């Protein structure tokens, strides 16, 4: 059982949590799939710490900065998407993509509409054509990142109904669905535009913690003294 929502903390508070965990003889392990340091008492987890994507923990949870870190991000929603390339935390490229994919009256994306109504009308064919071009252009940009830069990590946020179309595009993405360096962005993305790209990148370079109810009691005091106490919408 968790207590509250994940919170953004400073590196100093992260180190304080590690020190308390050592005092309490807690176990620490790295969940590579979610890039989290997990503290447990052997029976259940007490704290989950989402680590900066440009850092990796040693066997004790202490953070080591990755050398020459190249990050490619892509976030997609119906009719709008954004890609970004970052080198050692600096944004060097970004692109916002838009397409006429939403039926005006119903407010439903053309892809969802096709599942129930088909594509006979001219407007539907136009929206479908723009949808296909939409994914082509996104993947062309991502392929450019792959060809020009040694990408360390890919990060993706994509609506479930759109995910298959990204990979079925005539121009495929430069990664597979199960690729080791492909990670799901664990933050809610409402509107993938340039401002959201900057916000998400900042979050990915921070440390976020989620305590279980038992963990909150163990880390009492540290929890009250966080540098920031901002709730985040996470996919943990």
pTM: 0.84
Which residue reads 């109904």 in tokens?
161
Give CA–CA dist 209/229, Å, rounded: 10
- State the residue range of the domain holding 34: 7-52+206-225
> What would the mean pLDDT of 96-112 be, rounded to a whole number?
63
pLDDT in tens, 71-82: 999 999 988 999
86: left (phi over 0), alpha (psi -120 to 50) or beta: beta
pLDDT of 222 strictly over 80: no
* Within a domain: 167: yes
Q: What is the pLDDT of residue 107?
A: 47
pLDDT in tens, 83-97: 999 999 999 999 999
pLDDT of 162 strictly over 60: yes
Torsion of CA 166, 168, 172, 174, to 10 degrees: 60
Which residue reads 């060097």 in tokens?
92
**Which residues lie below 8 Å from residue 42, measured CB to CB, with a gap of 6+?**
27
Same domain? 36 vs 112: no
Rg of the chain taking only CA atoms, in angstroms: 20
pLDDT of 126 strictly over 50: no
> What would the mean pLDDT of 22-43 be, rounded to a whole number?
95
Same domain? 87 vs 178: yes
Q: What is the pLDDT of residue 33?
A: 92
Same domain? 144 vs 47: no
Same domain? 96 vs 196: yes
Same domain? 187 vs 76: yes
Same domain? 190 vs 103: yes
- Count up the domains in the chain and report the number: 2
* Within a domain: 157: yes
* Within a domain: 195: yes
CATH number of domain containing 152: 3.30.420.60
pLDDT of 159 strictly over 90: no
Same domain? 176 vs 85: yes
> What would the mean pLDDT of 105-126 be, rounded to a whole number?
49
Same domain? 19 vs 132: no
> What would the mean pLDDT of 206-232 be, rounded to a whole number?
77
Which residue reads 């830069």 in tokens?
149
* Within a domain: 177: yes
Q: What is the largest CA-CA distance in the chain?
A: 68
* Within a domain: 57: no
**Which residues lie below 8 Å from residue 226, measured CB to CB, with a gap of 6+?**
7, 8, 9, 10, 13
């Amino acid at each position: 059982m968790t207590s509250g929502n994940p919170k953004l903390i400073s590196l100093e508070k992260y180190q304080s949590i590690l020190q308390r965990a050592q005092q309490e003889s807690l176990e620490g392990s790295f969940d590579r799939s979610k890039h989290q340091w997990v503290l447990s008492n052997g029976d259940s987890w007490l704290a989950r710490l989402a680590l900066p994507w440009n850092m990796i923990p040693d066997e004790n949870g202490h953070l080591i900065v990755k050398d020459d870190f190249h990050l490619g991000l892509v976030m997609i929603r119906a009719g709008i998407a954004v890609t970004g390339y970052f080198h050692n935390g600096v944004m060097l490229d970004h692109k916002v993509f838009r397409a006429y994919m939403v039926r005006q009256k119903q407010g439903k994306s053309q892809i969802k509409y096709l599942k129930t109504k088909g594509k006979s009308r001219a407007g539907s064919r136009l929206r479908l054509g723009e949808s296909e071009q939409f994914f082509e252009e996104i993947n062309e940009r991502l392929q450019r990142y792959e060809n020009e830069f040694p990408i360390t990590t890919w990060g993706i946020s994509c609506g479930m109904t759109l995910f298959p179309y990204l990979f079925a595009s005539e121009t495929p993405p430069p990664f597979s669905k199960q690729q080791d360096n492909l990670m799901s962005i664990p933050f809610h993305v409402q509107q993938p535009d340039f401002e959201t790209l900057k916000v998400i990148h900042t979050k990915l370079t921070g440390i976020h913690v989620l305590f279980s109810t038992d963990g909150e009691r163990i880390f009492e005091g540290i929890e009250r003294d966080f540098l920031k106490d901002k709730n985040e919408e996470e996919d943990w």
